[in-house]
Chains A and B, each alone.
Chain A
């Protein structure tokens, strides 16, 4: 048995384990879920804002999904099978939010945006 434990088997064994662990994690967290909250500068929720999600490819970006925020300003989008998202928000009486880049570790990773997307009131 000792003969088989050497640098090669240890290294490739560890790599194999890491890959296995990673795939398990991926399988468990891959519904393409994106959730977050849209708020005004003073923190109050903005209901009915339209949140547009685009997929950023190597050279261009394609519109992929849209959602409206609920009464508490929260939105939820599903089925996003992409690894680099661009999020835009438009709401009545507010300046449109410039594109925010959301980077994921793998396609379809579930992501809850911690910081609320704050929008300034239109002038």
Chain B
């Protein structure tokens, strides 16, 4: 009798089985990176696009960071990649190196007005082997947040000017549960700590590792010592996003080296955060790693021209301003960014300060080498750095192993 009931239930379920996707007429699909909250405005995109190309239906898909990569990989393997994709950091490099992305050069050449919209410093970030593959969607790069109260308690006033000052400031603020310094560690966000000591990751021709130098050894030894003494909170090297931001929001960490979107998370869950308690500054030497979001068109797209129209619409001044003011980010669209800065100066001075620091030192952008195997180099390098700072290997041993592994990836 149990069997009969189960069978009855299942046949009902089978009957109501949704049929496979019916062959829709012309269609383009847009894949965005974890902005479900922006749904209303995205409906605005689609409505505006209806006027330009009524024959095209637009499918919007949103995936979280860790799920977007797998989703795009499997869809590409099946030959049905989404037409327009929003990616973060250097994920696009592998796709470009493997020829999965449409070269936007010809489109930009044809429409100078569109090419002129964007800040050249940021456009450079998305070029590979001389071709422009992406347009900026919203731009972020790393900077230094600091807890002014903890600074006062430790008798400090202005942010550190040199690498050693970062560590000495951090040491002064470390006691009990409190620690002095935290950095994000994914997508090369920690690299400015090495760049300010004159360390180069690879040779200019991107063929060989160039970081195994006395300067790098000195930096790594100091970082390891500071982590061991507790001045650098261990979460800096093991956490990803929620952990470092959570710790800084809890008010127990002196300085946080991360990219700008963290500000809105920290303010959201950190009751202590306001204009006089949260300091914002550039890292010593003004170095910063971009972790911007950009948009590309898949080469396997069946409607490249329609996709380009949609891309132009998203990055237009009107929608760029809407995006910037709604999700509190700058967009790389020069005109729009001016308006967004004005908006924040009027309504949210602290956010304006964050965005201002972010727009400074655009010539000191680092940590974004056009490496065809960026994620493998990143893994090979960071795994060893992590071993060193957590005291599981000596800095020398870690750097030698890292050099061996990175060279193996680069020579492939």
Contact = CB atoms under 8 A, between A and B. Distances in A.
A and B from one assembly? yes
Interface of A: 8, 57-60, 62
B40 interface: yes
B383 interface: no
Contacts of B109: none
8 contacts: A8-B5, A57-B37, A58-B36, A58-B37, A59-B37, A60-B37, A60-B326, A62-B40
Interface in B20-66: 36-37, 40
A59 B326 CA distance: 11
Nearest to B268: A59
Contacts of A57: 37
B245 to A, nearest CB: 15
Nearest to A57: B37
A68 to B, nearest CB: 24
A104 B200 CA distance: 57
Closest 3 A/B residue pairs (Cβ)? A59-B37, A60-B37, A58-B37
A59 B62 CA distance: 15
Interface string B289-326: 00000000000000000000000000000000000001
A60 B326 CA distance: 9
Interface of B: 5, 36-37, 40, 326
A62 B5 CA distance: 48
Contacts of B36: 58
Interface centre among A8, A58, A59, A62 (most CB of B within 10 A): A59
Contacts of B40: 62
Contacts of A62: 40
A8 B40 CA distance: 42
A60 B40 CA distance: 12
A8 B9 CA distance: 13
Contacts of A58: 36-37
Nearest to A59: B37
Contacts of A59: 37
B151 to A, nearest CB: 30
Given A8-B5, A57-B37, A62-B40, 5 more contacts: A58-B36, A58-B37, A59-B37, A60-B37, A60-B326
Contacts of B37: 57-60
A62 to B, nearest CB: 7
A8 B326 CA distance: 49
A75 B228 CA distance: 62
A90 B40 CA distance: 27
A16 to B, nearest CB: 16
A81 to B, nearest CB: 13
A57 B37 CA distance: 8
B269 to A, nearest CB: 13
A106 to B, nearest CB: 20
A58 B34 CA distance: 13
Nearest to A8: B5
Nearest to B37: A59
Nearest to B39: A57
A86 to B, nearest CB: 16
Contacts of B326: 60
A9 to B, nearest CB: 11
Contacts of A60: 37, 326
B324 to A, nearest CB: 14
A60 B5 CA distance: 46
Contacts of B5: 8
A52 to B, nearest CB: 15
Contacts of A8: 5
A99 B165 CA distance: 43
A65 to B, nearest CB: 16
B8 to A, nearest CB: 12
A61 B37 CA distance: 10
A101 to B, nearest CB: 16
A58 B36 CA distance: 9
B330 to A, nearest CB: 18
A34 B40 CA distance: 24
A108 to B, nearest CB: 18
